[in-house]
Amino acid sequence: MSDASHRLDEPSRLLALLRSIASPGVLNAVPPLLLFLTGFLGPLVLVGLTSFIPARTFGFHGDWTLENYSQLFAEGSSHYIPFLWSFGLAAACVAFLLMICYPIAYGMAKVFGKWASPITLLLVLPLFVSENVRLFGWVIFLMKGGGIFAGIMKTLFGLDPGSMLYTPAVVLFGLCYVYLPFMLFPIVLGVSMIPKDLVESANDLGASRFQMFREIEVPLAMPGLLVGGLLTFILAVGAISETTILGGQNISVVALDIRHEFTYNQNWPGGSAIAMLVTVLTGVLVMTLLNRLNLDRLLGKR
Amino acid sequence: MAEAEAFLRLTKLTKQFGKFTAVNGVDLDIREGEFFTIVGPSGSGKTTLLRMLAGLERPSAGDILLRGQRINDVPANRRPTCMVFQSLALFHHRTVGQNIEFSLKMRGVSRTERKARAMELLDMLQLPTDYYGKNVTKCSGGERQRVALARALASDPEILFFDEPLSAIDYRLRKLLEVELKDLHRATGKTFMYITHSLEEAMVMSDRIGIMREGQIIQIGTPNDIYTRPQSRFVSQFMGEVNVLAVTASGDKLEAPVHGAMLTSPPDRASGFEQGHLVIRPESVRFVSEGSGAENQLTGILYNEYAMGSRVQYHVRVGEEMFTVEKLREQAYQGNLNDEVTIGWDAKDSVLVAE
């Protein structure tokens, strides 16, 4: 009797183990996990592997090399210039957007009341139109001589603003314009997490308007500010249309450099190495900042 | 000698939100060093009144005078007042020490001085000094109350306002903190102005109580005044279960709608009284037995009994009215439910209100 139950015990324990692995949670996680592996991690691994094969070759033959990376840092290499442009423009874009979006977000979360929804809609609406189309709209607006802006200036004020396109400033403007919603909405979330009574209490305890901002509002909205900043920074580092359309290739950014390697130079391993470098740099940045941020708090879990 | 200028005087203080009048022409004098409590149901305007005094809300009309100086337009951060919020509003991104020091930091007090003051306050509020670096979110409910009090006291304000800080706390801790707050009032000698919806809470702590209803203060008095001489049915019912009988004058007697009973008026009945309500506290009503009588007697059925620790409450149905009778436990009624009982009270223990 005891013998039989002992024998029955073994398979039932195995079954229980299988059951615990195949719990509803695990089963539900399978489809997104597959998508993540094939659609996201797969290409990344391929690019990573490609970056370690000899320059201008197209297959994996087991001859791995670090040459593509050393080339980037070699004497006389000009690959650092697109890096500087990309990271510099992205940083400037984040700085400007923080200054532009905070007041708007504050208004949407605390002041506008019933007007917040129509304003949100106005800000989201451009997202339904392709980024390239919107940027070409700006080209028409800003075009030298015949553009809408130049035309108005000339007819109304007799001024010739000259060429406004193809400058770093207009590229920066394009980046700010395109990525504004990505900065704005996380900040709205962050600002709406500032409890009103904490600000009032600070005021009551002697804080001036600026002190309330510095001591209470900014620290409490920080998760939103960080997420918005990261999101825009990453998007802006990888941006390509703003430079090609508004910058007219006067400014070479990292994404253009990578495209150049892959197409014109026919150097896939070289382009992959640059892509990996960008990925690692932004990855390190994101990880460092996200470590300082409690996502649970952002999602209201405390 | 001329009458001393009131410490904090409100004259015709009014606050309107659109068409809604939250506070309606409140006149009030607060004495220096007193513990004054405003009691009212939610929506009576008590929080709005307090917020105007703290500078968080601008009065629509009327004046706030502190030592004779009009402070209507002084912003909250420049007023020598401090408020303890209902939510406590502790800065959860800061430590206990940083919370307590906040007002001093805003005033540019040096780091060492700030810390010395924070330590002093931790000690005063019986918080361990190693709480200085503790995260406020890690403190218990009672500890948070003390941190909020310490923070409010740090800059040595002249008046402390309290917006129902104990309302979200469980009964036992609340009782403890009520006593601590009253002791703190004694220790600091500051003026405390407290609002609550619980008259019971107000009774424990206050020197004087103001009852607020629909934006107006309808009665001011010591806890004893309010308890024994309510001026309206509203005030009397605020205290908890009281017996209220609608009565009409009939000669020098009062006619009540229970079996057409004629009741003896309380001795201080106003001369022109026509009709109103007779208020009798449950502990003033007793069971009348063969030997002992009472000036007013009614006969009814014992409906139910409720043990309340040191006391026992009874509901006695007399006609359509349900009377509440309260006795000490050791004087409990010996009998059964549905007994026919006679209850009674002496006229001097009842209060007649016009409303």
Q: Do B143 and B62 belong together in one domain?
A: yes
Q: What is the mean pLDDT of residues A258-282?
A: 93
Q: Do B63 and B172 belong together in one domain?
A: yes
pLDDT at A301: 42
SS3 B13: strand
Task: Output the DSSP codes for B158-208.
Answer: SEEEEESTTTTS-HHHHHHHHHHHHHHHHHH--EEEEEES-HHHHHHH-SE
Q: Is B122 on the interface with A (CB under 8 A)?
A: no
Number of domains chain B is built from? 2
Query: Under an 8 A CB cutoff, do B102 and A198 touch?
Result: no
Separation of alpha carbons A105 and A279, rounded Å:
30
C-alpha pair distances (Å), B337 with each of B52, B305, B306, B310:
53, 8, 12, 20
Q: Do B200 and B86 belong together in one domain?
A: yes
Cβ(B353)–Cβ(B231) below 8 Å: yes
Report the gap between the CA of B91 and the closest CA in chain A (Å): 7
Query: Under an 8 A CB cutoff, do A205 and B106 touch?
Result: yes
We report the CATH number of the domain holding residue B141 as: 3.40.50.300
Q: Is B56 on the interface with A (CB under 8 A)?
A: yes
Q: Which of B233, B259, B290 is the last residue of a domain?
A: B233
* Average of per-residue pLDDT values in chain A: 86
Q: Which of B196, B217, B233 is the last residue of a domain?
A: B233
Q: Is B76 on the interface with A (CB under 8 A)?
A: yes
Q: Do B60 and B170 belong together in one domain?
A: yes
Count of beta carbons in the 10 Å neighbourhood of residue B105 = 18
Structural domain contains residue B1: no
Q: Do B33 and B167 belong together in one domain?
A: yes
Task: Output the DSSP codes for B32-47.
Answer: TT-EEEEE--TTSSHH
Separation of alpha carbons B265 and B295, rounded Å:
10
Report the gap between the CA of B335 and the closest CA in chain A (Å): 55
**Chain B stretch 190-249, residues whose beta carbon is closer than 8 A to a beta carbon of chain A:** none
pLDDT at B291: 62
Structural domain contains residue B336: yes
Query: Under an 8 A CB cutoff, do B151 and A205 touch?
Result: yes
Q: Do B139 and B118 belong together in one domain?
A: yes
C-alpha pair distances (Å), B60 with each of A111, A186, A231, B12, B15:
21, 37, 46, 10, 5
Structural domain contains residue B304: yes
Instruction: Kindly report, residue by residue over A47-86, the tens digit of the pLDDT.
Output: 999 999 998 888 888 889 999 999 888 888 888 999 999 9
Separation of alpha carbons B150 and B125, rounded Å:
7
Is the torsion defined by CA of A245, A246, A248, A251 positive or negative?
A: negative
B86 to chain A: closest CA residue: A197
Q: Do B106 and B12 belong together in one domain?
A: yes
pLDDT at A8: 54
Query: Under an 8 A CB cutoff, do A220 and B85 touch?
Result: no
Q: Which of A195, A203, A219 sits opposite B77 (nearest CB)?
A: A203
B137 to chain A: closest CA residue: A302
Domains and CATH numbers, chain A: 75-298 (1.10.3720.10)
Q: What is the mean pLDDT of residues A112-128?
A: 87
Element (DSSP H or E) covering residue B89:
none
Q: Is A294 on the interface with B (CB under 8 A)?
A: no
Q: Is B116 on the interface with A (CB under 8 A)?
A: no
Structural domain contains residue B2: no
Q: Is B158 on the interface with A (CB under 8 A)?
A: no
- Residue A175 gets which letter from DSSP? H
Q: Do B174 and B37 belong together in one domain?
A: yes
Upper half-sphere CA count for residue A208 (Cβ side, 13 Å):
5
Query: Under an 8 A CB cutoff, do B106 and A207 touch?
Result: yes
Structural domain contains residue B276: yes
Q: Do B139 and B103 belong together in one domain?
A: yes
Q: Which of A204, A211, A216 sits opposite B82 (nearest CB)?
A: A204
The residue count of chain A comes to 302
Tell me the backbone φ, ψ of residue B163, rounded to 5 degrees. Answer: -105, 85
Is the torsion defined by CA of B48, B52, B57, B63 positive or negative?
A: positive
B91 to chain A: closest CA residue: A198
pLDDT at A300: 46
Separation of alpha carbons B228 and B280, rounded Å:
10
Contact residues, chain A, for B86 at CB < 8 Å: 197
Report the gap between the CA of B93 and the closest CA in chain A (Å): 7
Q: Is A292 on the interface with B (CB under 8 A)?
A: no
Contact residues, chain B, for A220 at CB < 8 Å: 93
Structural domain contains residue B3: no
Tracing tokens 């063969």 back to the chain, one arrives at: B290
pLDDT at B290: 60
pLDDT at B261: 81
Q: Measure CA B22 to chain center.
A: 19
Mutating which of B48, B85, B114, B149 best tests the A interface, going by the most A Cβ atoms within 10 A?
A: B85
AA letter at B97: G
C-alpha pair distances (Å), A106 with each of A110, A224, A227, A295:
6, 12, 16, 21
Instruction: Kindly report, residue by residue over A211-233, the tens digit of the pLDDT.
Output: 999 999 999 998 899 999 999 99
Q: Do B14 and B152 belong together in one domain?
A: yes
Q: Do B211 and B255 belong together in one domain?
A: no
Domain that holds residue B346: 241-353
| Maximum mean pLDDT: which of A243-257, A286-300, B129-143 | B129-143
pLDDT at A1: 45
pLDDT > 70 fraction of chain A, expressed in percent and rounded: 92
Separation of alpha carbons A176 and A138, rounded Å:
13
pLDDT at A9: 60
Write down the ipTM of this complex. 0.84
pLDDT at A294: 61
A211 to chain B: closest CA residue: B106
pLDDT at B1: 36
We report the CATH number of the domain holding residue B320 as: 2.40.50.100
3-state secondary structure A88-149: HHHHHHHHHHHHHHHHHHHHHHHHCHHHHHHHHHHHHHHHHCCHHHHHHHHHHHHCCCCCHH
pLDDT at B5: 66
Q: Which of B89, B93, B103 sits opposite A206 (nearest CB)?
A: B103
Q: Do B312 and B224 belong together in one domain?
A: no
Q: Where do the H-state alpha helices sit in chain A?
A: 2-21, 24-36, 42-50, 67-72, 80-106, 116-124, 131-142, 148-152, 168-192, 196-204, 209-212, 218-237, 241, 254-262, 268-291, 295-298
pLDDT at B325: 92
Mutating which of A201, A215, A218, A298 best tests the B interface, going by the most B Cβ atoms within 10 A?
A: A201
Q: Is B294 on the interface with A (CB under 8 A)?
A: no
C-alpha pair distances (Å), B233 with each of B210, B245, B265, B351:
15, 10, 16, 10
Report the gap between the CA of A118 and the closest CA in chain B (Å): 24
Query: Under an 8 A CB cutoff, do B85 and A216 touch?
Result: no
Residue by residue, pLDDT tens for chain B (355 residues) are 345 568 999 999 999 999 999 999 999 999 999 999 999 998 899 999 999 999 999 999 999 999 989 999 999 999 999 999 999 999 998 999 999 999 999 999 999 999 999 999 999 999 999 999 999 989 998 899 999 999 999 999 999 999 999 888 888 888 999 999 999 999 999 999 999 998 888 999 999 999 999 999 999 999 999 988 888 888 888 877 889 888 888 888 888 877 778 888 888 887 778 888 899 989 899 888 766 778 888 889 999 999 988 889 999 999 888 999 998 988 888 888 888 899 999 988 888 888 7
Query: Under an 8 A CB cutoff, do A201 and B54 touch?
Result: no
Mutating which of A199, A205, A294, A301 best tests the B interface, going by the most B Cβ atoms within 10 A?
A: A205
Tell me the backbone φ, ψ of residue B247, rounded to 5 degrees. Answer: -130, 155
Count of beta carbons in the 10 Å neighbourhood of residue B191 = 21
Which of B298, B300, B297, B332 minimizes the C-alpha distance to B313?
B332
Query: Under an 8 A CB cutoff, do A204 and B151 touch?
Result: no
**Chain A stretch 188-217, residues whose beta carbon is closer than 8 A to a beta carbon of chain B:** 195, 197-198, 200-208, 211, 215-216
Query: Under an 8 A CB cutoff, do A216 and B91 touch?
Result: yes
Cβ(A269)–Cβ(A50) below 8 Å: yes
Residue A147 has pLDDT above 80, yes or no: no
